[in-house]
Amino acid sequence: MKKYDYILVGSGLFAGVFAWYAKQHHKTCLVLEKRDHIGGNLYCEDIAGIHVHKYGAHIFHTSNKRVWDFVNSLAEFNRYTNSPMAYYKGEMYNMPFNMNTFHKLWGVCTPKEAMEKIQEQRAGIQGEPRNLEEQAISLVGRDIYERLIKGYTEKQWGRDCKDLPSFIIRRLPVRYIYDNNYFNDRYQGIPIGGYNVLIDQLFQGCEIRTKTDFLDNREYYVSLGEKIVYTGTIDGYFHYQFGNLEYRSLRFETELLDEPNYQGNAVVNYTEREIPYTRIIEHKHFEFGTQEKTVITREYPEEWKPGMEPYYPVNDEKNAELYAKYAKLAQKESNVIFGGRLAEYKYYDMDKVIESAMVCAEAEFAEEG
Ligand code: FAD
Ligand code: UDP
C-alpha cells in the first residue's frame, strides 16, 4: 500500500480538475508544485486589493455548457467581456476586427462598404494563404495587417509574418457587425474574487507541497503514490533525450500607480513594432474595481531559453515532430497520466484544459461509477 492514491505534478487547471474528481471518489492526492504557490498560470497576486494576473491576463470563455456549469459550481463569475483596444501611432482602434475598426480606419459605415474595401486590398492574394501574412491580408486587407497585425505578431513570435503558420491569426474573429467582443464563445467572465477562489476549491482536501520540483527527487515521489498525474514539460520528464521543445516566453513588468484609472480598459494592445511590449493590462478593470490606486503590467515577449518560464508552445513542424517522439515514450509509461499544456505541448485555452482533464478523470474513475 502506497501512501497516496495519486501524486499530482503541478498545480494548474489540469491537475486541479483531476484533484476535484479524485476527491469525489475518496482518493488521496499529494500535489507537488515547483513555484511558491498553487494555481499554475491562473494565479493572482493581491496588490493594493487588486487581483493581479501574475502570468498574463486570463479571461475565461467557453461554449461548452458542461465546463461552464462546472466552474460556476465552484466560483461565481462576473459579466466581464473582453474588448481590447489597439494603440497604433497615437490612434485607438477597437478589437477584434469589426465594423467599429473598419469605420475608424476608412470612414465606412455599412458592412457592404467595409467588404468592398477589404476585397480591394486582398486582390494580390491568390489561392490558399500560405502563411500568416497572406492569411491576414486575405481576411482583413493590407491596412489592418500593417497597422494592427504585423508589428504585434512579429514582436509576439519573434519572426517574420511570412514564416508563421496562418492558423495563429484565425483565432481572432472578423465581424461585419458593430461588436467589440473578442470571443465568439457563448459564455465568458472572470471569477468574482479572482482565479484563486476557483483554484482553492479545486485543490480542497489535497496535501500540497510548494517549492517542490518532482524531477529533483522523482524516485522518492513515485514511491509515495499508486499513480502519477504529470503536468510539467514532457521533454523534461524524459531528460530531454531527443532535445528541447521550444517555447515563446514573456517578461512582465508590473507597476502600482497612484491614480484610479490609467488606460480606461483592461487590455490595450500596442501594435507598433517600435514599442517593445505587446500590451498593457490594467488588472482592476477585469473586476470593475473602484480602488484608489491601479496596477498595470507591460507584457514583453521574449526568446525562450532553457530554464526560462515556458509560455507558448511553438507549433511548427520541427517541434511537432519532436513532440511526437516524446508522446510515443509517454504512451509506454503505464502508471503515468500526462496532461495539460506542458505535457501535451498544446496551445490550450482554460476551457479546453478543463474539458480534457474531465475526460481523463472520468475515464480514470469510470469503473467506480
Ligand atoms: P499550467 O497552468 O502551466 O500548470 C502547470 C504547473 O505545473 C505549473 O504551476 C508549473 O509550475 C508546475 N510544474 C511544472 N513542472 C513541474 C515539476 N517538475 N514539478 C512540480 N511542478 C511543476 N486561457 C484562456 O482560456 N483565456 C485566456 O485569456 C488565457 N490567457 C493566457 C495568457 C497567457 C500569457 C498564457 C501563457 C496562457 C493563457 N491562457 C488563457 C491559457 C491558460 O493559461 C492555460 O490553458 C492553463 O493555465 C493550462 O493549465 P495547465 O494545468 O495545463 O498548465
Ligand atoms: N494579434 C495581432 N494583433 C493584436 C492581437 C492579436 O496581430 O492586436 C495576432 C497575433 O499574431 C496573436 C494572434 O493574433 O498571436 C492571436 O491573438 P490572441 O489574442 O488570441 O493571442 P493569445 O495571447 O491569446 O495567444
pLDDT tens, position by position, 137-189 = 999 999 999 999 999 999 998 889 999 989 889 989 999 999 999 999 999 99
Q: What are the residue numbers of the active site?
A: 171, 175, 248, 279, 299, 347, 349
Number of C-alpha atoms within 13 angstroms, CB side, residue 147?
Answer: 22
> Which positions ≥6 away from 369 have C-beta within 8 Å?
none
**Facing residues of 248 across strands?**
303, 312
Number of helices followed by number of strands (H, E) in the chain: 13, 16
Mean of pLDDT values over 317-344: 96
**Dihedral sign, CA of 173, 177, 183, 186?**
negative
pLDDT confidence of 125, banded at 50, 70, 90? confident
Mean of pLDDT values over 84-102: 98
CA distance 3 to 192: 36
By most ligand atoms within 8 Å of CB, the mutation choice from 171, 275, 347, 352 for ligand 2 is 171
Mean of pLDDT values over 107-132: 94
CA distance 199 to 218: 25
**Minimum CA distance residue for ligand 1 atom 14:** 232
pLDDT at 316: 81
Q: Strand, coil or helix: what is 311?
A: coil
Nearest C-alpha neighbor of 12 from the set 50, 39, 33: 39
| Res. 333: pLDDT tops 70 | yes
Specify whether the CB–CB gap between 236 and 215 falls below 8 A. yes
**Facing residues of 312 across strands?**
248
pLDDT at 223: 97
CA distance 291 to 49: 7
CA distance 346 to 344: 5
Mean of pLDDT values over 44-54: 97
Specify whether the CB–CB gap between 46 and 268 falls below 8 A. no
Q: What average pLDDT is seen over the chain?
A: 96
Q: Cell 504585423 identifies what position?
A: 150
228 phi-psi bin (left φ>0, alpha ψ -120 to 50, beta other) = beta
pLDDT one-digit tens code per residue, 191-246: 999 999 999 999 999 999 999 999 999 999 999 999 999 999 999 999 999 999 99
Mean of pLDDT values over 82-89: 98
Q: Compute the distance from residue 244 Cα to the ligand 2 centre, in Å.
A: 25
CA distances from 340 to 4, 21, 92, 179, 243 (A): 21, 16, 36, 32, 20
| Res. 360: pLDDT tops 70 | yes
Q: Compute the distance from residue 44 Cα to the ligand 1 centre, in Å.
A: 13
**Which set of grid coordinates corresponds to residue 65?**
455548457
pLDDT at 90: 98
Specify whether the CB–CB gap between 8 and 19 falls below 8 A. yes
pLDDT at 38: 98
What kind and span of H or E run contains 105? helix 99-106
Rg (CA), the chain: 22
Side chain identity at residue 77, one-letter code: F
pLDDT one-digit tens code per residue, 262-316: 999 999 999 999 999 999 999 999 999 999 999 999 999 998 998 898 998 987 8
pLDDT at 369: 60
Q: Compute the distance from residue 156 Cα to the ligand 2 centre, in Å.
A: 8
Does ligand 2 have an atom closer than 6 angstroms to the CB of 156?
A: yes
CA distance 83 to 97: 11
Peptide bond before residue 306 is cis, with ω within 30 degrees of 0: no
CA distance 40 to 11: 6
**Minimum CA distance residue for ligand 1 atom 53:** 12
**Facing residues of 74 across strands?**
none
pLDDT at 126: 85
Q: Compute the distance from residue 153 Cα to the ligand 2 centre, in Å.
A: 7
**Which set of grid coordinates corresponds to residue 183?**
470571443
pLDDT at 89: 98
pLDDT confidence of 127, banded at 50, 70, 90? confident
CA distance 175 to 34: 42
